[in-house]
């Protein structure tokens, strides 16, 4: 087993190295390392066909529980097909919405409603970023929001950087509030059997409190940058929001589908529909409504991200099935002396620190078996650790320009428009904000769960 463990760790570290250095595309890195896990770790070292089957987890798709929750939610190892199906479904829905011009229209409409005044735009875009990210992946939210922000900033003669930074933070914060906002939450939710409502009641509360404080924080950080250019909003002619809508029918249909998705997600604990079922329904609805454009939407599907997830789950399964993650859990247990509050603190701060520098998706996927082991062996409350892990991984990524994908996309759009954001400028504002939110989250966890 020692050879299997060493192999699993070596493959995992290799995967991280390849992802960080971008020597190959990340889905190639995870798929390649996943293949090595199956052949070397499970095949050669463990000689276990069962381990391979558990890692691939294909049987789960054919279980009724994959589509409709019957009885208690079950947790699983290996490829989390529920996560992948849900993400794919949401991707298709978002493609349909983007194609119709929904996101650009929404941004422009809000800007128009506040009469193109910089500070109201700044405040409303932050809130919009958080709210949209509760249901839509933060990369898409920032992709559109940052682009519109750059455009508006040019028209209003503003520096777009303060707005983009605050939108990035709020996107990651909003994503932490729900099960479908950020990939780590999707993974945590589907792996541990939590519902949309569970997240809202727990991480949603922490996010809501934090959002109020963070909006004030960013206002005080950037008010001078925005006030100095505060005009009546009539400097140059701003585009009509209606011009953003490419096709009125598909716009209305995509709004309807999005509304249905939100309702299905909010009520899925009551309806017992799983997120994979919801994702599939939403995807089919979008494709059927798209008609001849369905092929184009499917072609634009980010299959590389889906493949990335598949490979990642297999590699993490290698760590899990060889017992490496149990060892890590034991280490945390020893370091904390079995103190449940300390365990929660280690998880939230440790996750935050790690997520600031490494991709939070592999990190959260790796930590799930760790917290399960901690719950089983140390007697720590699994739910508490899950919320700590969720907030740590989702918010920690805000601290640096590379911590989360939304950060990369937002800063990239800023750089392309000539407003490159250095590490210094980014971290000076965002790192303290991250610490504030993690601190608030830790306080809420301590007060509420202990």
Partner 1 sequence: MSEPLIVALGREFGSGGHEIARSLAKRFSLPLYEKNMLEAIAQTRELDVEHLARYDEQPKNRLMYRTVKGFSNAPGDALAQMQFQYLREQADAGRSFVVVGRCAEEVLRDRPGLVSIFVLADRDFKLARTMERGAETTGEALAIMTREDRRRRLYHDQFCKGKWGDARNYDLTVNSARLGIEGTANILAQYIHARTSQGEADKP
Is the distance from CB of 250 to CB of 180 less than 8 angstroms?
no
Task: Kindly state the tokens that stand for 375.
Answer: 């719950």
Q: How far is the CB of 98 from partner 1 (least distance, A)?
A: 13
Exactly one of 238, 266, 342, 402 binds partner 1 (CB under 8 A); that residue is 402
Kindly tell me which of 161 and 281 has the beta carbon lying closer to partner 1.
161
Contact between 411 and partner 1 per CB under 8 A = yes
Query: Is 445 near partner 1 (CB under 8 A)?
Result: no
Between CA 348 and CA 359 the distance in angstroms is 16
Decide: is 124 part of the binding site for partner 1 (CB under 8 A).
Answer: no
Other CB atoms within 10 Å distance of the CB of residue 169: 31
**Which residues on neighbouring strands pair with residue 273, listed in sequence order?**
68
Q: Which is nearer to partner 1, 175 or 318 (CB)?
A: 175
Nearest-approach distance from CB 361 to partner 1, in angstroms: 11
Specify the stretch interacting with partner 1 by CB under 8 A; choose among 16-24, 56-64, 192-200, 279-287: 16-24
393 binds partner 1 (CB under 8 A): no
Q: How far is the CB of 178 from partner 1 (least distance, A)?
A: 21
> Shortest gap between Cβ of 154 and partner 1 (angstroms)?
8
DSSP characters over 317-358: HHHHHTTHHHHHHHHHHHHHTT-HHHHHHHHHHHHHHHHHHS
**Nearest CA among 437, 252, 245, 238 for reference residue 355:** 437
Residues 6+ apart with CB under 8 A from 389: 184, 188, 347, 348, 351, 364, 367, 368, 371
CA distance linking residue 411 with residue 400, whole number of Å: 11
- Which listed residue (28, 302, 342, 382) binds partner 1 by CB under 8 A? 302
Size of residue set near partner 1 by CB under 8 A? 25
> 423 or 450, CB closer to partner 1?
423
Least distance CB 273 / partner 1 (angstroms) = 29
Angle (nearest 5°) at CA 305 between 304 and 310 = 95
Binding mask 19-58 for partner 1 (x = CB under 8 A): -xxx------------------------------------
CA quadruple 186, 191, 192, 194: dihedral sign: positive
C-beta separation of 273 from 264 below 8 A: yes
Q: Is 17 in the site for partner 1 (CB under 8 A)?
A: no
Query: Which residues sit at the interface with partner 1, rule CB under 8 A?
Result: 20-22, 139, 154, 302, 401-402, 405, 407-413, 415-423
């Amino acid at each position: 087993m020692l050879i299997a463990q060493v192999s699993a760790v070596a493959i995992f570290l290799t995967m991280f190295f390849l992802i960080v250095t971008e020597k190959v595309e990340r889905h190639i890195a995870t798929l390649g390392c996943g293949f090595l896990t199956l052949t070397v770790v499970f095949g050669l070292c463990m000689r276990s066909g069962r381990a391979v089957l558990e890692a691939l987890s294909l049987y789960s798709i054919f279980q009724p529980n994959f589509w409709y929750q019957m009885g208690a939610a079950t947790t699983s190892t290996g490829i989390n097909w529920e996560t992948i199906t849900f993400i794919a479904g949401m991707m298709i829905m978002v493609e349909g919405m983007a194609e119709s011009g929904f996101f650009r229209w929404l941004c422009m409409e809000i800007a128009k409603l506040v009469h193109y005044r910089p500070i109201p735009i700044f405040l409303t875009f932050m809130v919009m970023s958080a709210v949209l990210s509760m249901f839509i992946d933060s990369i898409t939210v920032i992709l559109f929001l940052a682009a519109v922000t750059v455009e508006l900033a040019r028209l209003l003669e503003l520096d777009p950087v303060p707005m983009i930074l605050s939108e990035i933070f709020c996107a990651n914060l909003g994503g932490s509030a729900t099960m479908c906002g950020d990939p780590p939450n999707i993974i945590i939710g589907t792996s541990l059997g939590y519902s949309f409502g569970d997240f809202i009641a727990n991480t949603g509360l922490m996010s809501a409190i934090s959002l109020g404080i963070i909006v004030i924080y960013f206002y005080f950080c950037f008010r001078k940058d925005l006030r100095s250019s505060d005009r009546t909003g009539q400097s140059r002619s701003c585009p009509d929001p209606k011009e953003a809508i490419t096709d009125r029918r598909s716009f209305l249909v995509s709004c309807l589908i999005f509304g249905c998705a939100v309702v299905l997600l909010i009520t899925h604990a009551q309806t017992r529909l799983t997120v994979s079922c919801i994702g599939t329904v939403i995807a089919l609805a979008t494709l059927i409504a798209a008609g001849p454009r369905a092929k184009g939407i499917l072609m634009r599907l980010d299959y590389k991200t889906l493949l990335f997830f598949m490979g990642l789950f297999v590699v993490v399964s290698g760590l899990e099935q060889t017992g490496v993650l149990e060892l890590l859990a034991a280490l945390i247990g020893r370091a904390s002396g079995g103190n449940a509050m300390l365990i929660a603190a280690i998880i939230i701060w440790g996750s935050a620190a790690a997520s600031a520098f490494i991709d939070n998706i592999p990190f959260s996927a790796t930590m799930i078996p760790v917290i399960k082991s901690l719950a089983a062996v140390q007697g720590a409350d699994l739910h508490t650790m899950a919320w700590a892990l969720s907030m740590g991984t989702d918010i920690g990524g805000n601290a640096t320009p590379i911590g989360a994908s939304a950060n990369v996309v937002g800063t990239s759009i800023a750089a392309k428009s000539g407003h490159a954001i250095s590490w210094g400028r980014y971290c000076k504002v965002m790192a303290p904000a991250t610490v504030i939110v993690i601190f608030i989250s830790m306080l809420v966890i301590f007060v509420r769960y202990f």
